[in-house]
A and B are shown apart, each in its own frame.
Chain A
Amino acid sequence: MKAACLLTIALCCTLTALSQDLRRRLQAQFIESPDGVIIELPEGRFQLNMALWMDGKNNITLKGKGMDKTILSFKDQLAGAEGIKITNSTNITIQDLTVQDSKGDLIKAQLVDGLMLKNVKAEWTGKPSKENGAYALYPVQCKNVLIDSCVAIGASDAGIYVGQSQYVVVSNSKAYHNVAGIEIENTLYADVFNNEATENTGGILIFDLPNLVQKKGGHVRVFNNHVHHNNYPNFAPKGNIVGKVPLGTGLMILATNNVEIYNNRIINNRTAGTAIASYYIAEIPIKDASYYPYPGQIYIHDNVYSRKHQRTTMKGRMGLMFRLKVKFGKDVPHIIYDGIVDDKVQHPAICIRNNENQSIGNIKAANKFKGISREMKAFDCEGIKQREVELNVGK
């Protein structure tokens, strides 16, 4: 950091001014600030009627007086679906503030190299609703992303969602009352650790989807997280893939390769502590020739599983599957695998060992759920350990 370049522009005088005035000043600063500026926000609650957008900036920090102390509310905004949008920039930091109630995503970053979100709360207030925006914290097509000590609440898709990005760390954060707590989608090299995902429909999702610009994700490590009580009814608007996630999903891997899941506490997620599935389980036709729909090189080890002796959810299409086809009753295995495999692959796609209370249900979905197996042995292998992600942030 070039300390000499750092300038502080205080906005203290706007404390009593109208929030609309603050929006105009902030937006002007977002556009006109030279490199290296710290834009400081005062303590207080500010009602902004339009999205704030920063584009093409380097080394800018937006800093409040603390989570829940500086609050930017976008409730009833007139324009711009997002709360804060950052595009085509390098080394941008947002820290120590709360953003609330935008129509669309709360903080979206696209094509940013070096994004730090620290001590930021992004929330939709009130009861979780399908009217809430899709993503609370939403880096997409970014590189070198650090999301640390953040809180995401109420997203009708995913609280912390990293899509089509590379070199990502999500740590020490909390996600609750979202459809998906934390989602890593079509993203390469991600470490997700020391987070708490609770009371979402699904806690942590690692997805690879077809028809996207960044085709392939993977090399993801999920460790030391507390993924518990993710039994919140799915409130995603219809038509979204996340709407297919059954309530009670702790951790789910969909069609992603090279994923290591370890040292997590995966507790009381009533449908599946961990679900591993191919894209076929979504029952959506695939029209992307370059897309690989099967999960592979998955290594699940040294986690702690625990659940109440109770039935899975009976809701939705997945509920139907559990009720009519799979019939585990109350003795639901901790790990559920759809068993849809790529016949061309010889080596084991999934290794599971050394987990406390580990149990599996291979539901053989490709075989019309015939021959469902709880056999652990086929998965007892030494899997691939993924490398630590090294971020190149703030350099």
Chain B
Amino acid sequence: MKKQLLIVLFLVITVLVNLALMPNVSRPVFERKQKLSEYNFFTGKLADLQPAPSVIPYDINSVLFSNYAEKMRFIKLPNGSKANYTSAGALDFPKGTVIIKNFYYEHDFRKPGEGRRIIETRLLVHEENGWTAYPYVWNDEQTEGFYDVAGDVKKISYINASGKRIKIDYIIPNKNQCKGCHIRGGNMQPIGPTAAQLNREYVYATGKQNQLSYWQQQGLLNGLPAIQTITKFPAMDDLSQSLDARARAYLDVNCGTCHHPLGPANTSGLFLHYSQGASIELGIMKSPVAAGRGAGKNSFDIVPGKPHKSILSFRMQTNDPGIAMPELGREQIHKEGVKLIKEWIEKMESVGP
């Protein structure tokens, strides 16, 4: 009975603390709901993910690999507010902005649109004190997503693009793990919606249009320069881009959020963000610091010309959680990513020891 008393006491204190911490402003910019449907981001059947009028779908050029899950992204700005254009980093979104990312698998990747299973929806919300992540896990009936901070494991099964039946665990990260990628110098922030990533076309109901111009046209974006002057982030499969550009963009998105001077993997001294020069910090002939068995039998992160002797590609080629990189969304090996990085290292000119 003592336990119940303690729980009651705990609840009372939690409420009191929350009341005490409540700002004088009457309404917070965002109120967290227990169910995804309560936000009314979508109209009609929830699982159809049909956006409400103020919810804008978008895509990005270079995507993070997440266990071969597909993603549908949306953004909602508070009524009447605009984002400010920035040339580097995510656009400057107003308080109250919600970024909505849905993770799903087609039942059969050869027949997209003919049935899918949504696993989770992650919200990234610009609150009064900065960005916060709110994860929602979908039920098996596909009728609702429920707020869940603790993370979980789901058995998934689908047919991949080559027609092979894949049965595998899907790890839903816990709320803290969002920070694993989204934290930069102590603050959470969005990663995907940068100008360079958004600089691409999207097929809207009104027709095909560059996403940035569309946002401007819809009154959602301030200060957009001429589209031709904006960098376009390379996609890994865009063969009009150089091998180096594609590989570095892939590393930036998949590794460079943590492996950044201000990211959580800065302990390693290995930096893989796009603007990192081709030096020892990029891993070229760099000895690992605390890789443990992650090093395999290799002595350096990258040995130019020798992908089979490079720790970077070694760690991409396993799904052993003690070795695999990146640490999240890697229950499967990203074969296409491995191929790209191996080719990049293979063709890298060797440097003196």
Contact = CB atoms under 8 A, between A and B. Distances in A.
Interface residues of A, number: 60
B296 A50 contact: no
A213 B150 contact: no
A7 interface: yes
Contacts of B279: 287
B176 A239 contact: no
Nearest to A213: B266
Contact of B296 (A34, A104, A157, A239): A239
Given A9-B10, A81-B322, A110-B264, A135 B149 contact: no
Interface in A91-116: 102-105, 110
Interface string B265-301: 0110100000000011100011111111111111110
A37 B151 CA distance: 22
Interface residues of B, number: 55
B236 interface: no
Contact of A31 (B176, B281, B285, B288): B176
Contact of A55 (B14, B151, B176): B176
Interface string B154-186: 000000000000000101011111010001001
Contacts, number: 154
A239 B149 contact: no
A87 interface: yes
Contact of B321 (A80, A163, A241): A80
A368 to B, nearest CB: 20
B327 interface: yes
Nearest to B268: A212
B17 A34 contact: yes
A130 B295 CA distance: 11
Contact of B327 (A81, A134, A284): A81
Given A7-B9, A239-B295, A285 B353 contact: yes
B3 interface: yes
B25 interface: no
B299 A239 contact: yes
B151 to A, nearest CB: 6
B250 to A, nearest CB: 22
B278 to A, nearest CB: 13
B10 to A, nearest CB: 6
Interface string A125-169: 000001111110010110000000000000011000101100000
Q: Which 3 pairs between the two chains have the least Cβ-Cβ distance?
A: A134-B292, A103-B322, A239-B295
27 contacts: A7-B6, A7-B10, A8-B6, A9-B10, A28-B150, A31-B150, A31-B175, A32-B149, A53-B174, A55-B176, A55-B179, A78-B171, A87-B176, A88-B183, A88-B186, A131-B293, A134-B293, A140-B290, A141-B267, A163-B289, A238-B297, A239-B287, A239-B288, A239-B291, A239-B296, A239-B298, A239-B299
